Structure 1
Amino acid sequence: MPCRRRRRRRRTRIVLLCRVLKVARSSYYAWCEGEAARRARQAADDAPIHEITVVHIVSRHTYGVPRIHAELRGLGRRVSRKRIARVMRECDIRGATRRRRRSLTRRDKKATSVPDLIGCDFHAERPGIKLVGGITYLPTAEGWLYLACWLDLATGEVVGYAMAGHHRAEFVVDALNMAHGRGGLEPGCVVHSDRGSEYTSTPFRDRVGEL
């Protein structure tokens, strides 16, 4: 009798708790029956946690799921990729991701008629006859700044540059002015760039003509 009463009380408490929590009793009993399966899965997860952590540390915290999976396969560990992903997610282990760089070139559709004076010949016999230029952007304490450079193909040196919070036409003109002032450019010097609107703009082309 005492055992039967205890079972009744326990069943009453379960009914009350399920009613308060708005959970079906069948769900509660299903959860209880799945306890053994959850423990088995946890035991299976505990095994590769150490190996995943070691591989991640050795990679200087750069490896993600694919490369860790490949490393463990190479060591003879038969662990599925999904399990590795779940374990890494639960343990907050993350690989390094490369930041996708966005292009700064605003292509000018009118520039298709501009001839390519360099082609594939990026060799110069002497300084001041061939320059190549481009624009990039850099994170600074002031925020993102744009950098325009002119490189002399003979020496590999940056002979002109300019930094600004924009990349309008005057920005690349300033870099060209510096290159002209300190690069010893010869008459007929070729300045090569992409066909972005900064380099096909009227101010830039006028300055090239003046120099």
Structure 2
Amino acid sequence: MKVAIVDDDPLVRMGLRAIVGSEDGWDVVGEAGDGVDAVALAEREQPDIMLMDVRMPGMDGLTATREIIARGLGTRVLVLTTFEVDEYVFDAMRSGASGFVLKRIPPADLIESIRVVALGESLLFPSSTRAVIERFASRGLHRLPELTEREEDVLRALARGRSNGEIAADLFVSVETVKSHVASILMKLGVRDRTQAVIAAYESGFVAPGEDAEA
């Protein structure tokens, strides 16, 4: 797996490189200190995952994320942030980032987060992700395309941060069936991953803030 690191702090980049480079089969293909260099790095190396700081001089991480996603490079952006509830984080996710992690998380959790995003399996740290989405998604409402009843069940489960295996157990179906429903939901919503589907669910009012928070 190819990973790129974007942060304006050289010490942070050094630490992230050490953590990522410790995993067998993972290769840090480049670093950048601002958004302009991040976009160029994504174009040049086409990493699988880009760890993206939000607040940087010049082009910030939000703008860089939009650029990278708009260019259809296939790179998944994992936002790094100091704050759990940060409007910049929501905007980055809305622009196409696949999730976010806190800079203070333990190295093992960062490794797992990268792995989860690379697989597109589930939301990162669902409670934190949901808090960001709930706080900001109500700013505008957008109508969802028509979904089947089972697809609606799956989308509600995604909004609760459930994994494919957990959804399969809840609905008494196979994991492959869940994957098929998720793929159909993403196609109908015109989004690239589960995080984007959950944002769409909140923005449309299909899922209300606080709904099934403890489910």
Question: Which is greater in Rg?
Answer: 1
Say yes or no: TM over 0.5. no
Relative to the length of structure 1, the TM-score reads: 0.22
Relative to the length of structure 2, the TM-score reads: 0.22
Q: Which has the larger share of helix?
A: 2
